[in-house]
Amino acid sequence: MRDFTHDHSALALNTATLGHNLDGFGAGWSPEQVIDACAERGYGGITFWRRELAGRAADIGARTRAAGLQVVGLCRTPFLTGSLALPDDRAIMTDFYRSIDEAAALETGVLTIVTGGPEPGTKGVIESQKILADRVARAADYAAERNVKLALEPLNPATAGNRTCIMTAADALNVCDAVGAANVGIAIDVYHVWWDTTLAETLSQRAKGRILGYHLCDWLADTADVLLDRGMMGDGVADLKALRAAVESAGYTGLCEVEIFSANNWWQHAPEEVLDTIVERFRSYC
Ligand code: ZN
């Protein structure tokens, strides 16, 4: 397992951590300000959200790389299933392809998929996982031709009413198997899988070479809101070192991306303070 105690070159920022993915939050920094602040602090990379690109994906990607940082990924595809998805297959796939184009313009290797929940008119998640696999399969070649990998991110079951139909690494790998494309893998986010006592076994047995991203935060003991009350690493109950060991047992050597949605705490702090705190917590807790 890598030792981060004196080295945070594997640390990446997901810009959601500065509140940029939701209207009305964040300090209003431009992508350029975020890039410079991360570079100054020795971060290894940044993951952006589509809303920040605003038609400037190629410029922002080039600027990030010129600052010595990796463009780790892009968040995210539209919901591909469920009640929050666009109204029909054609609209969903059109926006799915557009998100792949944006990832390609940014020249990032990874586009994250947040799947969406159970399809209206169905119960449970099995039927929705089949629809999901079909839609991902139809876009996989298009993404591969543009050097984009698609990362299926399982989400915490508490969000499964409308945001996800895959809740465990095993669910995500099952959908990968159904899709059967070399550029489709999974992303592991501490917030979503910290509770899963079968995770290490699943990853070591089934996920070799298929983990495309690792997302850091913490699960607060008294979580007030499952979407917007994520904890800073070290403030919660997740066993962060054990989780990273599980991810690395599957061969993951990529960056570790801090993704903290925290409307009432971290999004209220100055970005400089958040970025400094992340470096310190990464070295001591992750
Ligand atoms: Zn995540």
Residue 182 C-alpha to ligand 1 middle, in angstroms?
21
Residue 197 C-alpha to ligand 1 middle, in angstroms?
19
**Residue 224 maps to a domain:** yes
Residue 227 C-alpha to ligand 1 middle, in angstroms?
11
Residue 130 C-alpha to ligand 1 middle, in angstroms?
22
Residue 215 C-alpha to ligand 1 middle, in angstroms?
5
Is the pLDDT score of 41 beyond 90? Answer: yes
pLDDT for the residue 23? 86
Using 50, 70 and 90 to split pLDDT, how confident is the model at 20? confident
- Total domains in the chain come to 1
Mean pLDDT of the chain: 97
Residue 259 C-alpha to ligand 1 middle, in angstroms?
6
Residue 189 C-alpha to ligand 1 middle, in angstroms?
5
CATH of the domain at 125: 3.20.20.150
Closest CA to 153 of 118, 125, 120, 193: 193
Residue 191 C-alpha to ligand 1 middle, in angstroms?
8
CA-to-CA distance for 184 and 60, rounded, in angstroms?
25
**Residue 3 maps to a domain:** no
**Residue 5 maps to a domain:** no
Contact (CB, 8 A) for 250 and 213:
no
Residue 188 C-alpha to ligand 1 middle, in angstroms?
7
CA-to-CA distance for 277 and 59, rounded, in angstroms?
28
Using 50, 70 and 90 to split pLDDT, how confident is the model at 197? very high
pLDDT for the residue 205? 97
pLDDT digits (tens, 9 = 90+) for 104-139: 999 999 999 999 999 999 999 999 999 999 999 999
CA-to-CA distance for 192 and 158, rounded, in angstroms?
9
Residue 183 C-alpha to ligand 1 middle, in angstroms?
19
Residue 88 C-alpha to ligand 1 middle, in angstroms?
26
pLDDT digits (tens, 9 = 90+) for 234-286: 999 999 999 999 999 999 999 999 999 999 999 999 999 999 999 999 999 99
Q: Facing residues of 49 across strands?
A: 75
pLDDT for the residue 22? 85
pLDDT digits (tens, 9 = 90+) for 62-121: 999 999 999 999 999 999 999 999 999 999 999 999 999 999 999 999 999 999 999 999
What is the C-alpha R_g of the chain?
18
CA-to-CA distance for 169 and 161, rounded, in angstroms?
18
Is the pLDDT score of 222 beyond 90? Answer: yes
**Residue 197 maps to a domain:** yes
Residue 153 C-alpha to ligand 1 middle, in angstroms?
7
pLDDT for the residue 75? 98
SS3 letters across 173-212: HHHHHHHCCCCEEEEEEHHHHCCCCCHHHHHHHHCCCCEE
Residues 6+ positions from 272 with CB-CB distance below 8 Å: 37
**Residue 2 maps to a domain:** no
**Residue 183 maps to a domain:** yes
Domain containing residue 228:
11-285
**Residue 162 maps to a domain:** yes
Using 50, 70 and 90 to split pLDDT, how confident is the model at 57? very high
**Residue 243 maps to a domain:** yes
Higher pLDDT, 26 or 213: 213
